[in-house]
Amino acid sequence: MGAGVLTPLLADAGLAVGPAGDLLMGEVPLRVVAEAMGTPTYVYNAAVIRERFARLDAAFGALPHRICYAVKANGNLAVLRLLADCGAGADIVSGGELLRALAAGFPAERIVFSGVGKTDDELQAAITAGVGHINVESVAELRRLAVLAEAQGARVPVGIRINPDVTAETHPYISTGKGGLKFGIPIDQLPDAYAVLDETSALVLDALAMHLGSQIMQPTPWVAALDRLLEVLANARRRGHAPTTLDIGGGIGIRYRDEAPMAPEDWVAAIHARLAATGCTVQLEPGRFLVGPAGVMLTRIVHRKHSGGREIAIVDAGMNDLLRPSLYQAWHQIVAVDAPEASTVPTDVVGPVCETGDFLGLERDLPEVPAGALLAVLGAGAYAFAMSSNYNARARAAEVLVDGDRWAEVRPRERLRDLFASETPDPFADEAR
């Protein structure tokens, strides 16, 4: 691993090589966390999250705006509270995320409920809570929301998420702005949406929204999509609606390997004039950008083996702990915590799950450290623990927050017995008596 790749990734996470030659997050040695908590364990850097929020916030300058953190990226309550304290709102996609956001201290009016498949229960919960607005993604959803709002005697602020039919260069599984996908209302169906709004006083069109996908590295797709969103805004105003908010989504990319992510300042500069001319408040929904680089997953080597000419390190974290490499073929840098700068050999880092696709990284340049050695998987603050599971009856990992020279457990490791504590092995036992 060349220093040109390692150094920026370490800096992104607020990591450094300490005097003893091991990795520090802030002022906390990662080996100390692993020794106390066991592995696998996720560790998040509060200072990095604050710095990334502040930089993105400052990029918009005096332009009225609100950053609504995408809770799906990492829903740990300590992470949510940290961002709420920074002044963020919350972008949610489920009733469970609504409860998490409220529990973490987000005011209801700073919560935006997005997502394509909201149930009646979820819509009713959002109405009752008084969320800032509900982003609808189909005409059918808008009609149903009108019925529920009328039944509650409520007046509900809504956003219409359009599908701008703009393709961003990213993984197809995380591209959301092109036509033919489940996301957003196609522009040619907007007259039907306006008709629903015209028929009810229970809904008010408060926002127009779009989202292009995730891990986008250039501002060009936003410029094209924003031009379409502004056409929709002009048409909505001609029809007598007065949206106060333009929701431009999230998706700002981060560095996982050797990418060159766009600076927030460059992104905002490319779209600032268009946004300022609208007179609307700008809303954005970053998740990965705020928390992705701030997290690492710690894991230990259980065994080493050599097979078919390949060096293999079997670790105690698997695809149930970090799904992205198996699902997206995503790259996460892997470093040896106690020897991050030692000479290396190509090594497959694989997990214990009974699947050939269970790997964290293939042919990675790693030192020939022995069983028991501690590894850190970088870029694990977003869509990592959040996508973890109990596959193979494995307990989900612990989570830790580091803040300068302090660290604390913010989610304990699951206990194996708790995984089946609510199950009933013999549901018909009473009938046999």
Catalytic residues: 354
Instruction: Copy the structure tokens of residue 2.
Output: 């060349």
Between CA 3 and CA 13 the distance in angstroms is 15
Rounded Cα distance between 338 and 374, Å, is 7
- Is cis: bond before 8, omega within 30 of 0? no
Q: Which residues, listed in sequence order, are joined to residue 163 by a DSSP beta bridge?
A: 186
Q: Exposure of 366 by Cβ count < 10 A (0-12 exposed, 13-18 middle, 19+ buried)?
A: buried
The strand pair at 111-113 and 89-92 is best described as parallel
Q: Any residues with CB less than 8 A from the CB of 111 and at least 6 apart, and which?
A: 68, 89, 90, 91, 92, 98, 101, 102, 129, 131, 132
Joined together, the tokens standing for residue 104 give 């973490």
Number of neighbouring beta carbons within 10 Å of residue 413: 16
Cα 396 to chain centroid distance, Å, stands at 18
Contact 196, 142 (CB under 8 A): yes
